């Protein structure tokens, strides 16, 4: 049995994602495809447009065999933490042979070459990076400049095209996946595939006959436009952009946007101001950014407006958004550090699987390893019987994040929403596997 893994958000799922699943299985010669997926909050520091169970169904109906959840604290962390956790999750399953990821360059070698340099961190590179950060540049731009200068003085041959490798979002994540694989000494083979269709940040759908490969950004903009009849108004565009079963799921789901969480965020900041809790105690919230957030606590505005008001040359909109989300969801620096010291994963949280992929679950139960056997959670209510004290506390923190999302979804949609104890595991019938 050969298995390929993919780390994804599917925010939302579209034709490009379905193509990647098929291409990953072809390139890896894999019998099964496992997805490590962000839950209800994603890496850009925002709520997922659709809940994690809807997105799990989307992935399974498009060819995935098993979907596991990346813990929220790392699902909405930096690119490095997100990649490190996703790689750790797949690696610790013990059965994944290859990790497939999309990239703008479509080549594995240059990404691995850069990853080796970043893992090694030569002294000249480190020195230049510190200088650029002191100059007020954001970390991604400071890293790019430091690497350009370092490689210009070597015969490495990577300097050509370095700007695209280090500035395009899928390439950046690809490098982080490669770094994580190298640092772990994982046996997983990295496989980069060329990203098809629109660019990551393209806000409009491509004009073409037949199926198109849109950006998730364009689909989110379409689906979250008010009034809330986005699916009906854009049915033709959607029908060309997503697999048919996914279109049906979109029609039944309700989309959320960051501003749906504005009131909760304002209340959270007020509570912390009264209690005197330092904002810098939260995950990836440095003291200078914490001070900026504190000074603007009483400037009541929407989530997105807060991000726009707080961003600087050093702290991008996305970085600010992640910081605010960490504060809202009570993601502390101590919790993140503790989880990293335990190799990121304390349990495998299964969101869904295909009936004909049952062999995967048996194989995982036999193979999951390092540093200790990792429990597999399929029933939330049963977690207390298989998790130790520390792992159970981490699991409850994860449930808290999903319950925040579900409470907002219920309020915005006017629907009764299942919680983490009542939501059923997604099981896809064998007959639904795409050709």
Do residues 297 and 415 both lie within one domain?
Answer: no
pLDDT band of residue 154 (cuts 50, 70, 90) is low
- What angle, rounded to 10 degrees, do the helices at 317-328 and 262-275 form? 70
How much is the pTM? 0.92
pLDDT digits over 198-212, tens only?
A: 545 555 555 555 556
Q: Are 257 and 225 in contact (CB under 8 A)?
A: no
**Token pair belonging to 72:** 């929220």
Q: Are 206 and 198 in contact (CB under 8 A)?
A: yes
Range of the domain at 126: 122-163
> b/e string for 324-354 if b means 16 or more Cβ within 10 A?
bbbbbbbbbeebbeebeeebbbbbbbbbbbb
**Token pair belonging to 402:** 């999903």
Q: Which helix (H) or strand (E) holds 327?
A: helix 317-328
Do residues 148 and 95 both lie within one domain?
Answer: no
Distance between CA atoms of residues 271 and 297, nearest Å = 10
Burial class (CB in 10 A: 0-12, 13-18, 19+), 392: middle
What pLDDT is attached to residue 230?
Answer: 47
Distance between CA atoms of residues 312 and 310, nearest Å = 7
Distance between CA atoms of residues 218 and 241, nearest Å = 10
| 128 in any annotated domain | yes
What pLDDT is attached to residue 290?
Answer: 97
pLDDT band of residue 58 (cuts 50, 70, 90) is very high
Distance between CA atoms of residues 320 and 322, nearest Å = 5
Q: Mean of the pLDDT values across residues 8-12?
A: 95
| 184 in any annotated domain | yes
Number of domains in the chain: 3
Do residues 242 and 267 both lie within one domain?
Answer: no
Do residues 294 and 148 both lie within one domain?
Answer: no
Q: Which of 126-140, 189-203, 386-400, 408-422 has the lowest mean pLDDT?
A: 189-203
| 219 in any annotated domain | yes
Omega cis (within 30) before 12: yes
Q: Mean of the pLDDT values across residues 221-227?
A: 71
Question: For the chain, what percent of residues have pLDDT higher than 90?
Answer: 69
CATH number for 425: 3.40.50.620
| CB-based contacts of 316, cutoff 8 Å, min separation 6 | 138, 140
């Amino acid at each position: 049995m050969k298995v390929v893994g993919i780390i994804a958000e599917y925010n939302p799922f579209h034709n490009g994602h379905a193509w990647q699943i098929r291409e990953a299985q072809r390139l890896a010669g894999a019998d099964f495809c496992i997805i490590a997926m962000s839950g209800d909050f994603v890496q850009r520091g925002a709520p997922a447009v659709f809940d994690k169970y809807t997105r799990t169904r989307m992935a399974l109906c498009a060819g995935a065999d098993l979907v596991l959840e990346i813990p929220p604290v790392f699902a909405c962390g930096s690119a490095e933490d997100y990649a490190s956790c996703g790689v750790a999750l797949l690696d610790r399953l013990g059965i994944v042979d290859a990790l497939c990821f999309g990239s703008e360059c479509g080549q594995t070698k240059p990404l691995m070459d850069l990853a080796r340099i970043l893992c090694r961190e030569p002294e000249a590179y480190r020195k230049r990076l510190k200088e650029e950060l002191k100059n007020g540049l954001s970390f991604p731009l400071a890293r790019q400049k430091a690497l350009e200068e370092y490689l210009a003085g070597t015969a490495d041959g990577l300097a050509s095209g370095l700007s695209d490798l280090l500035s395009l979002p899928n390439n950046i994540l690809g490098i982080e996946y490669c770094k994580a694989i190298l640092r772990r000494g994982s046996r997983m083979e990295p496989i980069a595939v060329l990203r098809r269709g629109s660019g990551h940040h393209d806000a409009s759908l491509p004009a073409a006959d037949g199926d198109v490969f849109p950006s998730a950004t364009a689909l989110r903009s379409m689906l979250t436009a008010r009034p809330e009849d986005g699916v009906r108004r854009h049915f033709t565009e959607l029908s060309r952009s997503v697999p048919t079963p996914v279109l049906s799921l979109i029609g039944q789901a309700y989309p959320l946007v960051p501003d749906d969480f504005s009131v909760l965020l304002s209340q959270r900041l007020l509570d912390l101001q009264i209690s005197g809790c330092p904002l810098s105690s939260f995950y990836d919230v440095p003291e200078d950014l914490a001070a900026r957030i504190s000074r603007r606590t009483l400037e009541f505005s929407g989530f997105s407006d807060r991000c726009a008001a707080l961003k600087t040359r050093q702290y991008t909109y996305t970085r600010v958004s992640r910081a605010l989300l960490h504060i809202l969801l009570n993601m502390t620096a101590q919790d993140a550090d503790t989880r990293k010291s335990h190799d990121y994963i304390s349990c495998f949280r299964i969101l869904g699987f295909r009936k004909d992929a049952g062999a995967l679950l048996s194989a995982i139960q036999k193979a999951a390893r390092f540093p200790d056997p990792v429990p597999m959670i399929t029933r939330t209510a049963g977690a207390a019987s298989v998790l130790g004290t520390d792992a159970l506390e981490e699991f409850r923190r994860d449930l808290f994040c999903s319950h925040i999302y579900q409470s907002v979804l219920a309020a915005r949609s006017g629907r009764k929403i299942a919680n983490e104890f009542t939501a059923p595991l997604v099981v896809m019938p064998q007959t639904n596997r795409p050709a």
